[in-house]
Structure formats: C-alpha cells, structure tokens
C-alpha cells in the first residue's frame, strides 16, 4: 500500500489484498555483507504450495473434512527461475460467485534476458495462435502498453548527476499490429512526474538556494544551532547592509532598477527560448524588507546578523530612513518600520533566537510573494487558491513547510516548460493536481504526479526512442471467464534475482552507431483456469 508498489503489478490486475510467498532463510553476516537477501522457492515446491492452496478451497475435496470453506485472497509465489522456462512467479486467484468459490485462475510468469537480439522476440501472430489453441478461443483482442522516459539522469562535465527526478509517459492502446510498434496517436497517455528540487541546471536554482537558507534558519530555531552558508559576496553582510541603508533603500521600487529575482542561468537544452525566459522575469515590487533580505542573506555568523539588525534599528530610531513596505506583512521588522512612521519604535532585545526569527520572517514574506507572483502571473492559480500555502495563521515552521511545497510545484512547472515545452493549457491542470495533493499531504519529492495528456503532446520526445517497457495483452472470454496472455520487454528485470550488469544499457556493438539497441528482459505471463463445477 501507499508508496510500496506490488512486485507483480505488471501482471495482476487486482487491487485488493494478496498473499506473496518467498522462501524464509536465516540471514547470516556473510549474506548481509554480500547484499544477498533474495530467497525464492524452487518451481516444484511452488507448484506443491499452489496445489495445497487450491485443495483447501475446492468444495469437491470432501475427504479433507473441511466444514467451512473460506475463499482466500490471491496467492503469488516467488520462484527461483531454475527450471528450463525460467519461471519467476506462480500465482493463483479464486473465481467466485457471490461468497462461493467456483474455480481457480492459475498464472505463470517467466523471464529471460537481457538481450538486444530481436530474434529472441516473439511473433505477434504466433502468440495469438498459441493463445487460441490453449484456451480454445476463436476470437482474441489485443491491447498495447508502452512506457517511455522523457528525461534521464544527465551528464555534467562527464559526471552522472544522481537524481530521483524522472518524467515518463505511460501509453495504452487497443488493437496491436506488431511487436514493439510505436503507439498510435489515438492512444490514451498519462504523464508521470517525479521531481527532486535543486538541480543546478534549473532556471530557478538560485531561488532553491534561497530556500535552503530559509530552511537553515527554521532548523536553527528548532535546534538552537544554525548552519550559516558560505558568503555569496566578497563584501560582508554588514557592509552590504550599510551601503543599502545609505543608498536609495527608501525609494519606491518602481523608481529603481531592482536586482533580478531569477538569475537566468544557461540551461543545457535547446528548449529555452525567449517565450520560456519570460516566465522568470524579475518581480519589480521588492519592498525595503525584501531588498534587505537579498543583502543580509549573505550573513555568515550569528554575531554578524546582530550587527546588521543593530544598524537597521538605529537608522529607524534616528529617523534616518523611512522605508516603504508592503501592506499586510506581519514580521517584527515590518512592525518596527510602521512604528517608525510615528517617530517611536519599541525596544527589541537582539539576543537569543530573536535575530534569527526576524530574518526568517522577512525571508518568508519575500519568498511567498515570489511564488505567488509566478503562479498568478502565469495564470495558473488564484490568490484564493494559494491562500493555504501563504497563510500566516499557522506557526513559522509550518509556514516554511508550505513554502517548500510551493517551491516543489514551481520546479515541476519549470521543468515541464523547459524540457517538454508545455503551454498554459497543460500547465494549468497540472498545477491544480499538484496543489490539491499538497493541500492534503506533506512534502514528498518522491510522489508521482500524474497528468492525462494527448500522445501528440510528447510524441517528438519518444517517437525515435526505445521504450523502457513495451507489452501486449492477448485476451479472450468475458468476465470471470476472461483469460490473458501477456508478452513484455523491459529494460529492468521483473524480479530482483534477474538483475544483470547490463541492465538498462545499450549493447556494446551498437552503442556508437546509428542503430543503437536497448538490452531487454523478455517476460511472458500465461493464464489458465480450472472450474470446480
């Protein structure tokens, strides 16, 4: 349940509880050191277990003297693949009529490979004929499934960037004409997005670093220990603040050329054009506190932070500055600025956690407005819909947590814009899906966000690529009498003990040529039925 996917999800269509059996073996230190934890049943033993499972549910086994037959959940057994067919799973699923069991569906999953040699691949017509003969069917229907990765771990300066990020598309269609065919445009497609924030190539990487400093301040409030970042500027934070206070800090921002909110760093994709860059345009209404955050966030120690706030408070007390701030800000510094308009401000003791909390508050205010400006500016959400994420009615730690959610959603929108060239018509529903999830769940960068799309939207990214998974289902019959044969190729093995050093890579003989081929595991899932009545 939850994020734990069923290991037989590609072969079993159910969604209820199942039993999964694997061999129980004592784990010794040598096994732990070797990383060996895969214990599977021999096929012969697995068949015996399936037979016992079937017998205890068969109403015709009267000699067993079972007074009350119970319909058990489906049973799947991990097999060791030592037989000639390399069986990796055996399964059994009861057929029911109400609360009464009428028969059993048996499944056998075999796997071989990996190989790039297509002569090992099946012929679709032969698969269909074998299914017809086994199940005495005159008519069969076929359904295709293909999964393509749209982004992969990229190489920067010959170094693989380890990342959990992935965007892939699942495509299903009816009536398959040949093995490994490209899905037709009339197919149904779902985009699956898992994104880890903080990619240095992202156009919003500078905003991510800003968020990391905010998180460090929030952690410092909880633990009493703050990890100060390395200085971003050659000048100290105190010097930057002093120059800021003696400059034009009190003028309305629209009268100034403010610093860029998003640094337009070079992205290693041709998809970045002028229309995309416009998304990251600067926010031109930074008030005094927000401009101060941009200066003071280069602070490198607690003592330096106290010196910075001491300079600011003294300037306010002396009336040397009368800065402009946004309405609605609830930070302590904003309150002091509002009080300075009337010539008197309260005494603030810059000790303990107070300076860190003051800095955290102005950072929160600034970053909330950054994200709101993006989502409203791109017409992806209304202020009412964003209210949950920018609310000040919760404590500071929760406010920071919600800002993290906003940033993750921003990274997703930016990635889809830069990498997939998504327009508003696609970004808008994706934003709604993300926001709905994050209003109900904590931050989870491993969550898979799913968006139904038209295949034509992403076809150019996969039409000349090799699928990660390609399978065909051949079925006949209806309802409980439906039987299915599945043939599948995949770059990853369907079970852990089928792993190989060549998994998911190109074959050596063709990797530098124009006809590169993927190494595939070949998997077959067959079904048969036994009826008790």
**114 prior amide bond cis, ω within 30:** yes
Convert the pLDDT of each residue in 306-360 to its tens digit. 999 999 999 988 888 888 888 878 789 888 888 888 888 888 888 989 999 999 9
Q: What is the pLDDT of residue 11?
A: 64
pTM over 0.85: no
Mean pLDDT within 427-439 = 96
* CA R_g for the chain: 31
| pLDDT grade for 10, boundaries at 50, 70 and 90 | low
Q: What is the pLDDT of residue 177?
A: 94
- CATH architecture for residues 204-444: Up-down Bundle (1.20)
Tokens linked to 359 = 């800095």
pLDDT above 60 for 32: no
By the 8 A CB rule, do 66 and 83 touch? no
pLDDT above 70 for 252: no
**448: which residues sit within 8 A by CB, 6+ positions away?**
192, 193, 194
Convert the pLDDT of each residue in 376-418 to its tens digit. 999 999 999 999 999 999 999 999 999 999 999 999 999 999 8
Mean pLDDT within 3-16 = 60
Convert the pLDDT of each residue in 491-508 to its tens digit. 988 776 555 434 443 343
Domain definitions of the chain by residue range: 1-138+491-503+516-532, 204-444
Q: What is the pLDDT of residue 274?
A: 46
Mean pLDDT within 281-298 = 83
CA distances from 467 to 150, 185, 232, 396, 473 (A): 10, 16, 44, 46, 16
Burial environment of residue 29 by CB neighbours within 10 A (0 to 12, 13 to 18, 19 or more): exposed
Give percent of the chain above pLDDT 90: 44
Pairing of strands 100-115, 520-531: antiparallel
Convert the pLDDT of each residue in 443-465 to its tens digit. 999 999 999 999 999 999 888 88
pLDDT above 50 for 374: yes
Backbone angles phi, psi at 217, to 5 degrees: -65, -45
Report d(CA 108, CA 60) in Å as an integer.
24
Q: What is the pLDDT of residue 159?
A: 45
Report d(CA 294, CA 259) in Å as an integer.
9
Tokens 């070797």 identify what position? 34
């Amino acid at each position: 349940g939850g994020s734990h996917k069923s290991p037989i999800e590609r072969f079993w269509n159910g969604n209820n509880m199942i039993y999964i059996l694997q061999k129980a073996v004592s784990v010794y230190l040598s096994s732990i050191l070797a990383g060996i934890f895969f214990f599977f049943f021999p096929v012969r033993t697995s068949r015996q277990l399936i037979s016992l499972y079937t017998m205890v549910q068969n109403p015709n086994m009267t000699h067993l003297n079972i007074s009350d037959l119970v319909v058990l959940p489906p049973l799947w057994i991990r097999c060791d693949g030592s037989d000639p067919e390399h069986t990796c799973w055996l399964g059994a699923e009861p057929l029911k009529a109400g609360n009464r069991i009428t028969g059993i569906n048996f499944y056998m999953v075999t796997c071989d490979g990996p190989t790039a040699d297509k002569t090992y691949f099946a012929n679709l017509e032969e698969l269909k004929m074998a299914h017809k003969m086994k199940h005495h069917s005159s008519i069969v229907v076929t359904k295709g499934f293909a999964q393509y990765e749209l982004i992969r771990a990229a190489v920067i300066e010959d170094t693989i960037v380890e990342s959990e990020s992935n965007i892939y598309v699942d495509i299903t269609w009816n009536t398959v004409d040949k093995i490994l065919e490209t899905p037709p445009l009339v197919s149904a497609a779902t985009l699956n997005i898992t994104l880890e924030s903080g990619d240095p190539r992202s156009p919003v990487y500078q905003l991510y670093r800003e968020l990391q400093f905010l998180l460090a301040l929030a952690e410092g409030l909880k633990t009493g220990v703050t990890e100060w970042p390395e200085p971003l500027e050659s000048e100290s934070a105190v010097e930057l603040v002093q120059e800021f206070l003696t400059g034009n800090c009190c003028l309305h921002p629209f009268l100034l050329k403010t610093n860029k909110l998003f640094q337009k760093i070079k992205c290693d994709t041709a998809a970045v054009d002028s229309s995309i860059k416009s998304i990251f345009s600067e926010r031109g209404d930074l008030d005094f506190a927000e401009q101060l955050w941009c200066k003071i966030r280069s602070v490198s120690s607690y003592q330096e932070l106290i010196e910075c706030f001491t300079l600011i408070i003294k300037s306010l007390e002396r009336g040397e500055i009368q800065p402009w701030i946004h309405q609605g800000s609830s930070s302590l510094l904003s309150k002091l600025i509002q009080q300075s308009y009337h010539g008197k401000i309260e005494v603030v003791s810059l000790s303990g956690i107070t300076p860190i909390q003051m800095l955290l508050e102005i950072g929160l205010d600034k970053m909330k407005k950054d994200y709101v400006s993006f989502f409203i500016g791109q017409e992806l959400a209304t202020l009412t819909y964003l209210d949950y994420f920018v609310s000040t009615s919760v404590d500071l730690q929760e406010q920071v947590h919600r800002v993290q959610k906003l940033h993750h959603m921003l990274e997703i929108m930016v990635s889809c814009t830069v990498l997939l060239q998504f327009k508003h018509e696609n970004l808008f529903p994706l934003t709604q899906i993300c926001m709905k999830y994050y209003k109900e769940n904590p931050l989870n960068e491993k969550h898979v966000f799913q968006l139904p799309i038209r295949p034509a939207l992403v076809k150019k990214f996969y039409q000349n690529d090799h699928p990660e998974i390609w399978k065909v289902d051949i079925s006949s019959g209806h309802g409980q009498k439906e039987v299915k044969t599945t043939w599948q190729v995949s770059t990853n093995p369907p079970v852990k003990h089928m792993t190989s050093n060549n998994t998911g890579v190109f074959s050596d003989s063709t990797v530098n040529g124009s006809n590169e081929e993927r190494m595939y595991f070949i998997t077959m899932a067959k079904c048969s039925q036994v009826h008790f009545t």
